[in-house]
């Protein structure tokens, strides 16, 4: 009888381990949607500014870079240990470095065939490796996109450290501090947001907020009533800001660089939609979007 119970316990443990090792395909699918919208954003605001409708360009901004940080914080909850998490960041850095070598070679080729005249050197390449950016002409979209990597590495490392050091209650307080920090550097002390600690404080507070929020809400599902209340509150906040400040709330791209409280509100719409739909798709199986999400770094490079 004892042997039978032990056997059942072993099977149960093995099944649990197998379940834990399964990927969360909903998170992957969300990453897939986000990276597709990032591609659309670069089309809309780079080559497509003359023919892409403004409403469509703004729509793509609701579910993009902040969502990646939200999903990164959510995904951190599934990391087995600090070693595996650090390993994934190192692999991402190596992929980035290989990509920059390819860009360096392509620029050299365009210089040689007189398409461009960008005097890049090995010294410039070495700076790129450590996220000191300079012109990547004629591939201008590359330079316009590289800021993401520096912010991603700093926020991912700092966010993971904070989540490991503090309990859930303290993490909620830190998330709130980041939220208040974005508000303060937007409306009260804008100069504070320009203080550089590797990255400007405006970027640090903003994206750390979404990283921490993603981790804290990993098990949260919104019902329809909660969703309506939150969306109504966000809309009211936008119109209040529009009434009492000179900020153009409809210039989402302008509020993204540097990220401010208005962009935080717009980005929150995407988070609310994700938390509403979670209960319907939390057990979704692998699909084309989840495969794109698993390989989002390569889509981003492309």
196-239 residue pLDDT tens: 988 999 999 999 999 999 999 998 999 999 999 999 999 999 99
Same domain, 220 and 146: no
**Does 21 map to a domain?**
no
13 domain residue, yes or no: no
User: Looking at residue 267, what is its pLDDT?
Assistant: 96
Same domain, 142 and 219: no
Note the pLDDT of residue 5: 44
Encode the chain in three state secondary structure: CHHHHHHHHHHHHHHHHHHHHCCCHHHHHHHHHHHHHHHHHHHHHHHCCCCCCHHHHHHHHHHCHHHHHHHHHHHHCCCCCHHHHHHHHHHHHHHHHHHHHHHHHHHHHHHHCCCCCCCCCHHHHHHHHCCCCCCCCCCHHHHHHHHHHHHHHHHHHHHHHHHHHCCHHHHHHHHHHHHHHHHHHHHCCHHHHHCECCCEHHHHHHHHHHHHHHHHCCCCCCCHHHHHHHHHHHHHHHHHHHHHCCCCCCCHHHHHCCCCHHHHHHHHHHHHHHHHHHHHHCCCCCCHHHHHHHCHHHHHHC
The count of domains in the chain is 2
Are residues 35 and 127 part of one domain?
Answer: no
Same domain, 195 and 155: no
Co-location of 141 and 37 in the same domain: no
Verify that 240 and 291 share a domain, yes or no: yes
Q: Examine residue 8 and state whether it is found in any structural domain, yes or no.
A: no
Domain presence at residue 146? yes
Domain boundary among 165, 183, 204: 165
Q: 245 and 142, same structural domain?
A: no
With respect to residue 16, please indicate whether it lies within any of the assigned structural domains. no
Whether residue 191 is found in the same domain as residue 64: yes
The answer on 229 and 214 residing in a single domain is yes
In a domain, 14, yes or no: no
Q: What is the pLDDT of residue 271?
A: 96
pLDDT for res 22: 60
Is the residue at 9 inside a domain?
A: no
Looking at 131, 165, 199, the residue that finishes a domain is 165
In a domain, 10, yes or no: no
The verdict on 155 and 87 lying in the same domain is yes
261-281 and 201-216 are packed helices; what angle lies between their axes, rounded to 10 degrees?
Answer: 20
Let me know whether 35 and 178 are in one domain. yes
pLDDT per residue as tens digits for the range 259-276: 999 999 999 999 999 999
Query: What's residue 17's pLDDT?
Result: 44
Please say which residue of 165, 185, 214 terminates a domain.
165
Name residues of the chain where pLDDT drops below 50: 1-21
**The two three-digit tokens of residue 213, written as one number:** 């929020």
Supply the pLDDT for residue 59.
81
User: Residue 199 is part of which domain span?
Assistant: 27-76+170-302
Q: Is 40 found in the same domain as 83?
A: no
């Amino acid at each position: 009888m004892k042997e039978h119970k032990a056997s059942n316990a072993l099977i149960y443990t093995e099944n649990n381990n197998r379940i834990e090792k399964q990927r969360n395909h909903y998170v992957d699918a969300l990453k897939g949607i986000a990276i597709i919208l990032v591609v659309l954003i670069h089309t809309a605001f780079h080559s497509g500014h003359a023919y892409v409708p403004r409403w469509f360009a703004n729509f793509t901004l609701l579910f993009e870079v902040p969502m990646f940080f939200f999903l990164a914080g959510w995904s951190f909850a599934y990391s087995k240990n600090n070693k595996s998490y650090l390993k994934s960041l190192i692999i991402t850095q190596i992929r980035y470095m290989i990509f920059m070598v390819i860009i360096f070679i392509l620029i050299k080729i365009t210089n040689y065939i007189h398409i461009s005249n960008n005097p890049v050197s090995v010294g410039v390449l070495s700076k790129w490796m450590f996220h000191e950016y300079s012109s990547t002409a004629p591939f201008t979209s590359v330079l316009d996109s590289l800021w993401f990597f520096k912010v991603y590495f700093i926020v991912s490392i700092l966010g993971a450290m904070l989540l490991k050091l503090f309990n859930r209650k303290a993490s909620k307080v830190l998330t709130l501090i980041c939220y208040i920090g974005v508000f303060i550097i937007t409306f009260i002390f804008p100069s504070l947001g320009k203080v550089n600690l590797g990255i400007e404080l405006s970027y640090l507070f903003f994206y750390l907020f979404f990283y921490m929020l993603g981790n804290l809400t990993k098990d949260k599902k919104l019902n329809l009533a909660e969703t309506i209340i939150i969306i109504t509150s966000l809309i009211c906040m936008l119109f209040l800001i529009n009434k009492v400040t000179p900020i153009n709330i409809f210039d989402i791209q302008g509020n993204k660089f540097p990220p401010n409280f208005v962009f935080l509100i717009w980005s929150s719409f995407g988070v609310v939609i994700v938390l509403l739909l979670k209960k319907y798709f939390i057990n979704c199986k692998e699909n084309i979007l989840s495969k794109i999400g698993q390989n989002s770094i390569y889509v981003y490079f492309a």
